[in-house]
Each structure stands twice: as structure tokens, then as C-alpha cells.
Amino acid sequence: MCTRCSGKDRFQIEVPDNIANRVPSAYVLKSKRKGTTKTPGVLRYWSPEVERFLERMTQAEERRDAAVKDTLRRLFHRFDMHRYDLAHILAHRSRCPLRKRHALICSRVPHCPPCVPAVLIGRLRCGAWVCWTAW
């Protein structure tokens, strides 16, 4: 005996033809595969318990897919709301190489406080640097 785990045939219990008479009567026959000279035929069953679990699992997967779809929708909506700010940041990013170099040099000097560019409401202000020595 083994189970199938793909598509609509998920969790069907495969039973070889020669022992199919030992299957419990509560099991429902779903499909069968003809045997060949090398492999025996199999009958595929679902138990009532498997049907209940599969229904619950399908509902959970549908809820998960809906949640993922909604999360992606909200993410793209927020990205779209701030696209002008992001375009502005990217357009003006190249205007600050000297200040970036200053921050890098400042971070390597032991007694100099760390410096980072200030981001105010989604816009990078090239001339504004926030420096602090302690939290």
C-alpha cells in the first residue's frame, strides 16, 4: 500500500489488485490502474477520514492563497502610493557621493561619532546628516 500525493489524486490509498478484498468497506473506490506484465494493477481508495481531512486542508489552502493575494495587493498598493518619493530618492541618490564618503571615513576614525544620511518622509536630503555619539 502507498499513497498518491499529486493533484486531485492527493492522499488516495493505492492497494494492489491481489489484496483488494481486504480493504475495509468504509473505503470509497476512486480510481483504478490496469496492471502490466511487470507491475500489478492497483485500486485507489479514500477513507472517510481522509476525505474530511482533505476538505479541511483544501479550505486552509484557499484561505492561505487569499491571504497571500491580499498581502501582495496591499504591498503593491503601498509601493504605488510612494512611487514618486522612491523615484525622487533614486534620481537624487547620485548627488551625495561626497557625503557618503565622509560617512565612510567618519566611521573608520575611532573618536568620530557615526554619521548617517537623514531620511525625512521618504526623501533623502543630501545636505542633512544626523550624527550621534551615544544612544
pTM over 0.85: no
72 and 104 housed in the same domain: no
Q: Which residues of 11-27 are buried (b: 16+ CB within 10 A; e: fewer)?
A: ebbbbeeeeeeeeeeeb
One domain, residues 110 and 60: no
pLDDT of residue 15: 85
Position with higher pLDDT, 32 vs 100: 32
Please say which residue of 64, 80, 96 terminates a domain: 80
Is the pLDDT confidence value at 128 over 70?
Answer: no
Structure confidence at residue 97 (pLDDT): 62
Domain check: are 12 and 76 in the same one?
A: yes
Distance in angstroms (rounded) separating the CA atoms of residues 124 and 92: 8
How many structural domains compose the chain? Answer: 2
Q: Do 99 and 50 sit in the same domain of this protein?
A: no
Q: Are residues 54 and 105 in the same domain?
A: no
Instruction: Kindly tell me the number of DSSP H helices and DSSP E strands found in the chain.
Output: 3, 6
- For the record, the C-alpha cell of 23 comes out as 480493504
Q: What's residue 36's pLDDT?
A: 72
95 and 56 together in one domain: no
Whether residues 91 and 45 share a domain: the answer is no
Tens digits of residue pLDDT in 71-99: 999 998 988 888 888 777 776 665 666 56
Task: Look at 19-33, 40-54, 90-104, 105-119 and tell me which has the smallest mean pLDDT.
Answer: 105-119
The mean-pLDDT minimum among 54-63, 67-76, 104-113 falls in 104-113
Same domain, 64 and 114: no
Question: Which residues form the domain of 120?
Answer: 83-131
